[in-house]
Amino acid sequence: MDRPSWKHRRRVVFGALIFCAGAIGYLIGAGDDTVLHRAIAEGLAMLAAGIIGSYVFGAAWDDRNVMVHGDRVHGGRATAPVGDPLPSAPPGEGGPVG
> Given this model, what pLDDT does residue 31 score?
81
Category of 75 on φ-ψ map: left (φ > 0), alpha (ψ -120 to 50) or beta: left
The pTM of the whole model exceeds 0.85: no
pLDDT-wise least confident of 8-12, 50-54, 63-67: 63-67
Helix extents (H) in the chain: 6-29, 35-69
> Given this model, what pLDDT does residue 91 score?
56
What's phi and psi for 94, nearest 5 deg? 90, 5
